[in-house]
Structure 1
C-alpha cells in the first residue's frame, strides 16, 4: 500500500493515483471483514483508492473455489496488475485422492499474475507413515516452542493463544488425524519448488532490500539470538538455531 501512495505523492500529475483492490480469501467471514476494515483505514490514511472484497471458501469445495477464481479473472480491469499472496494456505490442498493442489495452481496461473508470493512451513507433515510424521512433528514443534520460550513470557496471552489455538491444534491434526481428516500437510521448500515449476511458474529472487528489511524487522521485534534469516534458492528462510521453520518465496 505504501509504495503506490509514495509514488503518487512524489510525482504529482494529472494522472490519478493508482488504485488497489484486494480480495481476501478464507473460511471465517468475521476475520476477513476485520482484516478488510483495518486495511481500509490504513489505505484512507495514505489517501489511496482502495477496495476490499471478501471471498469465503470451504476447504472441501474446490470446484466452488476454482469458479470464484475464474470470476475474478473475468472481473479484472484492463491494465490491472494481479498479485496473489498465499500465506500458510497451499499445503491444505494436498490430499490422498485427486490433484487439488494442481488444479488450484493451474487456476492461479490462468490469472496471469504479475507476482505470486508463498509462505509455508519448512516441514514434512504429509508422510502417510505415522512414525515418520510424528518424528518430523516432534523436531519441528520442539523448535517452535523453544523459540516461543525465548520470545514471550509464560503468562503472555499472545503466547497462550499461539500454543493452544494455533500450534496445539496443528499438532493434534498432524499426529492424531488420518487420511482425509488430516488438513496440515506441510511440505519442504524443494517440494514446492518442483510443483510450482511443473505448473509453469518461475522463481523470482527476493531482492537484497527486502532481505535487509526482513533482518531489521526481525531484530527490532524478536531480538533473541536464536532466530536467523537465510537466503537460499532465491528465497527467504526463517529459522530457529539450526532448524529452518518457514520459507517465503516469489513466483511469476
Structure 2
C-alpha cells in the first residue's frame, strides 16, 4: 500500500540556513523563522528562494518558488497569531480554463469524480428521483458523465429518472453558469433535470446552519457529494457536527474524496514548520508527476500551477483560519464518518478497474497507480498516496 512519508522534523528545526542550502531547506527555514516571529528573517530567506528559483524551471524549482511566495505573502501580512487572508496567485478562484486544464493533464479530479459517480450510480439504481447535494459544485465537470450514464442505464419503458442537483459554492455567477451548462447538457439527453445554486460564502456558514437553502423531498434518493470539501472543516468538532447533520438526512450514499495527508497536531495547533514540511512532501509528488507527463513550457501546466496548486499552497501556509483547512489521511476520515454514525460502502471491483482504465487511457505514465484497499480507492504517484475516495451511507 502506498504510504505518505513523515515530515522531516530535523530540517524544520534549522534556525538559519547555510549558504549552500537546498531550496527545500531554505523554505523550511523560512517557515521556522516566520513561526518564531522573525518576519524580517523570513522575508530575507523567502526573497533568496524567489530570486534563485524559476517558476518555469524543474519540479523542485517550481515547488520551492510557490512555497516561498506563499510564505512571503504571509510575512508581509504581519502574522500575529491568526492566519492572514492570503490571496492566491490568480487573485481569486481558479478560472474555468485552469480548472479544465487540471482535469486534462492530471488525473486527480477525474479519478475522484469517476469513482464517486460510480458509487452514486450503484446507490441510486432503480430510483425514479435522484437528488445530489454537491458541496463544491465549482464548474460542474463531475456531472455530465453521470447524467450520460443514468440515461444509458434507464429502463426503456420508464425512461430516465428525474435528477436534481443542489450545487454549493462561494461565487453565484459561477454557479449560475454551471447550472446553465448542465441544464443544456441534460436537455440534449432528454433527461428531466433541475439545478439549484446554493451560495455558501464560507464553510463556517455551512457549519453554523448547514440546512440553509437546502430543499429535501422524501420521495427522492439523496446523494451527498463531498469531493475535496471536508478538509475545509478544519476543526474536529466542526467536521463531526457536519457529518452528523449529513447522517441525519439519511442519504443513500455519501461520497468523500480528499487529498491524502496529515499535518499532525490538534485543533488549535498552528505549527507552521510542520505543516509546510508535510505539504511540501505532498506537493513535491504532484509537481514531479506533472514534470514527468507535461512539457515544462506547457501553458496549461503553468496555469494549473499558478491558479490551482499555487492557490492551494497559499491556503496551506495561511493555516486553518486562512482557508487551507486541516489535512487528514483516510484513517482519520473513516474514523470521523464512523463516529457520526455512517457505515462504509466498499468500493466495487468495477470502480477500481474503471479507475485503472482511466489512468491507462488518459494518463499513460508508469508513475500513476490506482488500487482498492480498506474499502476505498486510492490514487498515488510512485510510492506516495495522493488521494482517497470512499463512500458511506
Shared fold (TM-score greater than 0.5)? yes
Query: 1:116, 1:250 within 8 Å by CA — same for their partners in 2?
Result: yes
> 2:319, 2:325 within 8 Å by CA — same for their partners in 1?
no
Work out the number of aligned pairs and report it: 242
Structure number with bigger Rg = 2
- Could you tell me how far 1:19 is from its partner in structure 2? 0.4
Q: After the TM superposition, which of the residue ranges 188-197 and 37-46 deviates more from structure 2? A: 37-46
For residue 4 of structure 1, report the CA deviation from its aligned partner. 3.1
**Matches of 1:67 and 1:215, distance apart in 2:** 37
Within a 5 Å distance, the mapping from 1:23-62 to structure 2 comes to 23-59=166-202, 60-62=204-206
Of residues 109, 112, 130, the one that matches 2:272 is 130
What SS class does the counterpart of residue 94 from structure 1 fall into?
A: coil
Equivalent residue for 1:237?
378
Q: CA deviation at 1:34?
A: 2.7
> What is aligned with 2:246?
108
1:219 equivalent to 2:360? Answer: yes
Separation in structure 2 between the aligned mates of residue 99 and residue 251 of structure 1, nearest angstrom? 20
Change (3 A) 1:36 1:166: same
Deviation at 1:63, TM superposition (A): 5.5
Q: Could you tell me whether the CA contact under 8 Å between 2:378 and 2:386 is conserved in 1?
A: yes
Q: How far apart, in 2, do the equivalents of 1:179 and 1:83 lie?
A: 27
**TM-score with structure 1 setting the length:** 0.88
1:156 to 298, 310, 330: 298
- In the TM superposition, residue 64 of structure 1 has moved relative to its aligned partner by 5.8
Q: 1 or 2 for the larger relative contact order (CA 8 Å, sep ≥6)? A: 2
- Cα distance change of structure 1 residues 108 and 162 upon mapping to structure 2, 3 Å threshold: same
Deviation at 1:99, TM superposition (A): 2.1
Aligned to 2:289: 147
User: Which is richer in strand?
Assistant: 1
The SS at the match of 1:101 is: helix
CA offsets per residue over residues 206-230 of structure 1, 9 Å max, x none?
A: 1111111111111111111110012
What value does the CA root-mean-square deviation take over the aligned residues? 1.9
Runs of 4+ in 1 over 4 A off after TM superposition: none
Separation in structure 2 between the aligned mates of residue 113 and residue 166 of structure 1, nearest angstrom:
31
| Deviations, residues 145-199 of structure 1 (Å, cap 9, x unaligned) | 0011122222323211221111112222223x24523523121000000000000
Q: Secondary structure at the match of 1:204?
A: coil
The whole-number CA distance in structure 1 between the counterparts of 2:237 and 2:326 is 14
Q: Which range moves more in the overlay, 230-239 or 31-40? A: 31-40
Residue in 2 aligned with 1:66? 210
Tell me what 2:152 maps to.
Answer: 6
TM-score (norm 2): 0.58
Structure 1 residues 239 and 178, CA gap change in structure 2 (3 angstroms): closer
Provide the rounded CA distance (Å) in 1 between the counterparts of 2:388 and 2:372: 10
- Contact 1:189–1:247 under 8 Å retained in 2: yes
Corresponding position of 2:307: 165
Which segment drifts farther, 123-132 or 143-152? 123-132
Query: Does the Cα contact within 8 Å between 2:253 and 2:392 map onto a contact in 1?
Result: yes
